[in-house]
Amino acid sequence: MWAVTSSRFAPPLSAPCPQVVVLFGATGDLAKRKLLSGMMHLVLSDLAPRLRIVGTSLESMTDEEFRALAETAVETFSARSPSQEEWDRFEERLTYVSQQDGPEALAAAVERAEEALRADGGDNDMRVERLHYLSVPPAAALSVVEMLGRAKLVERSRIVMEKPFGTDLASARDLNAAVHETFAEDQIFRIDHFLGKEPAQNILAFRFANGLFEPIWNRTFIQHVQIDVPETLGLDGRIGFYEATGAFKDMVVTHLFQVLAFVAMEAPTALEPDAIREEKNKVFRSMLPVEPSDVVRGQYAGYRDEEGVAPDSETDTFVALRVHIDNWRWAGVPFYLRTGKKLAEGQRIVSIAFREPPKSMFPANSGVGAQGPDHLTFDLTDNSKVSLSFYGKRPGPGMRLDKASMQFALEDTESADDALEAYERLILDAMLGDHTLFTTAEGIERLWEVSTPLVENPPPVRTYQPGSWGPNAIHGLVAPHTWRLPFERQWRE
Binding residues for NADP(+): 25-32, 163
**How many whole angstroms separate alpha carbon 184 and alpha carbon 159?**
10
User: For residue 318, which of 162, 466, 450 has the smallest C-alpha distance?
Assistant: 466
Burial class (CB in 10 A: 0-12, 13-18, 19+), 471: buried
Beta strand residue intervals within 287-437, DSSP E: 295-300, 318-323, 335-340, 349-354, 375-379, 385-393, 401-409
Work out the number of other CB atoms within 10 angstroms of the CB of residue 307: 6
Work out the number of other CB atoms within 10 angstroms of the CB of residue 46: 14
User: For residue 455, which of 231, 253, 241 has the smallest C-alpha distance?
Assistant: 253
Q: Does residue 378 contact residue 202 with C-beta atoms inside 8 Å? A: yes
User: For residue 228, which of 95, 323, 339, 305 has the smallest C-alpha distance?
Assistant: 339
Across the beta sheet with 385-393, the strand order is 401-409, 385-393, 375-379, 349-354, 222-230, 335-340, 318-323, 295-300, 462-464
Q: Which residues are annotated as a binding site?
A: 25-32, 163, 193, 197, 231, 250, 341
Q: What is the DSSP string of 332-368?
A: T--EEEEEESSBS----EEEEEEPPPSS--S-TTS-T
**How many whole angstroms separate alpha carbon 372 and alpha carbon 352?**
12
Q: Is the dihedral of CA 177, 16, 77, 350 positive or negative?
A: positive
Burial class (CB in 10 A: 0-12, 13-18, 19+), 437: buried
* Catalytic site includes residue 255: yes
* Active-site residue identified among 41, 132, 255, 435: 255
Helix ranges (DSSP H) in 235-331? 239-244, 247, 257-264, 273-286
Q: Which residues are annotated as a binding site for substrate?
A: 193, 197, 231, 250, 341
Catalytic residues: 255
